[in-house]
Amino acid sequence: MSDKTQVSESRREEASLLPPVDVIEDANGITLYADLPGVPKDRLNLQIDADTLTIEGEVALDMPEGMEATHAEVSLPRYRRVFTLSKELDSGRVGAEFQHGVLKLRIPKAEHAQPRKIAVQVV
Amino acid sequence: MIYRSQFPRDLFAEMDRLQREMAQAFDWSPSIRGLTRGFPAMNVGSTPKSVEIYAFVPGIDPNALEVQIEKGVLTIAGERKAETAGENATLHIDERFAGRFRRVVTLPDDVDPNNVTAHYRDGVLHVSVARREAAQPRRIAIQ
């Protein structure tokens, strides 16, 4: 699983923020956490196309009418990050949870890629 | 290092690493972590009637957030737990903030500290502090 956001960013017109992620791998798969604060559930867009995982979200804040921004650190209303999944991951069985602005993705490894212990024989 | 350049384990990984280091050095990629500013990231706005503060604190139990106003200073503090990698698990990317945090904002003089509302939704804490009546702009009729 590798990050190719930088590459894809140059091809795109719309500027977006790069959400921070944690990626943890265990024997059975990969767990990804991404911080997407301000994105309601219906504005989150997850896509897996062949071996490419795209995480996109649009920020929607309740702003009173006539508000003028005086200081902005989250200065763009959009998050986007793209990853390449490796072959042993089973992209058909991805589980996703989204709560309090944190996305949790679980991508299991395909059956054939599960670890097997190989006995070494001394000849 | 000579060792690394003589035996690149994976050319693409090396290029990725170089690109990341460059991006970090020149601050190309917009980061919501805002390394120099700390966690949580904040947006502040104002209207004639109120001051609106948005703190981007994803993944936190709203009851564990400490929000207080004292002497015209708004403080937002709390703690975010790290996701623990279990035994035999490998942490490949570790970018999300974990640990205790505290951020402080000085409010304008004309706010009313007794008239504050705070909401937490989708990982964003929105604090709205009303301005005092007297401070609101009034149109003066010209005779």
Query: Could you read off the pLDDT of A51-104 as tens digits, one per residue?
Result: 899 999 999 998 998 899 988 888 889 999 999 998 889 888 899 999 999 999
B50, B54, B90 ranked by CB distance to A25: nearest:
B90
Please judge whether B85 and A102 are an interchain contact, meaning their C-beta atoms are less than 8 angstroms apart: no
Residues B117 and B101 in one domain: yes
Same domain for B25 and B52: no
- Confidence at residue A10, expressed as pLDDT on a 0 to 100 scale: 46
Same domain? For B60 and B6 the reply is no
In CATH terms, the fold of domain A2-64+71-113 is: Immunoglobulin-like (2.60.40)
Residues in B touching A100 (Cβ below 8 Å): 58-60, 120, 122-123
Residue A65 structure tokens: 């009418």
- % of chain A beyond a pLDDT of 70: 89
Q: Say what the pLDDT of residue A36 is.
A: 96
Q: Does residue B21 sit in the same domain as residue B4? A: yes
Residue of B nearest to A65 (CA): B47
Per-residue confidence (pLDDT) for residue B28, from 0 to 100 = 53
Within chain A, strands assigned E span 2-3, 21-26, 29-35, 44-49, 52-58, 68-72, 78-84, 95-99, 102-108
Question: With contacts defined as CB-CB under 8 Å, which chain A residues touch B23?
Answer: 6
Q: Is residue B143 part of a domain?
A: no
Residue with the larger pLDDT of the pair A3 and A85: A85
Chain A residues with CB inside 8 Å of B85's CB?
24, 26
Query: What is the spatial distance between Cα B48 and Cα B20, in angstroms, rounded to a whole number?
Result: 43
Residues of B in contact with A41 (CB under 8 A): 122
> Does B92 share its domain with B57?
yes
The rounded percent of chain A whose pLDDT value lies above 90 is 50
- Is the CB of B46 less than 8 angstroms away from the CB of A65? no
User: Of the candidates B40, B52, B89, which has its C-beta nearest A67's C-beta?
Assistant: B52
Asked if A22 and B59 come within 8 Å (Cβ–Cβ), the reply is no
Taking one residue from A and the other from B, the number of pairs with CB-CB distance under 8 angstroms is 152
Q: What is the ipTM of this complex?
A: 0.80
Closest residue on chain B to A29 (Cα): B89
| Cα→Cα distances B135→B3, B46, B108, B117, Å | 67, 13, 11, 19
State the pLDDT at residue A33: 95
The minimal CB distance from A38 to the residues B44, B59, B122 is found for: B122
Residue B110 lies in a domain: yes
Of the partner residues A9, A24, A27, the one whose CB lies closest to the CB of residue B85: A24
- Residue B141 belongs to some domain of the structure: no
Domain identity same for B42 and B26: no
Backbone angles phi, psi at A113, to 5 degrees: -95, 0
Residue A18 pLDDT > 80: yes
* Structural domain range at position B58: 34-135
Residues B10 and B75 in one domain: no
Mean pLDDT by 10 residues, chain B (143 residues): 52 71 60 60 92 94 92 92 81 89 91 92 95 76 85
Is position B79 within any domain?
yes
In this structure, what CATH number is given to the domain that contains residue B128? 2.60.40.790
Average pLDDT (A13-32) is 89
**More confident: A117 or B61:** B61
Domain count, chain B: 2
Strand ranges of the sheet holding A102-108, from the earlier edge strand across to the other edge: A95-99, A102-108, A29-35, A21-26, B90-94
> Least CB-CB distance to B58: which of A2, A37, A65?
A37
Residue B33 confidence (pLDDT): 46
Confidence of residue A23 (pLDDT cuts 50, 70, 90): very high
In 3D space, the residue among A54, A37, A35, A36 whose CA is nearest the CA of residue A45 turns out to be A54
Q: Are residues B8 and B69 both part of a single domain?
A: no
Contact residues on chain A for B65, CB-CB shorter than 8 A:
none
Q: Give the pLDDT of residue A4.
A: 62
Residue B53 and residue B85 in one domain: yes
| A112 compared with B73, residue with greater pLDDT | B73
Answer yes or no: do B123 and A100 touch at CB < 8 A.
yes
pLDDT of A40 > 60? The answer is: yes
Shared-domain flag, residues B22 and B39? no
Q: CB of A104 within 8 A of CB of A96?
A: yes
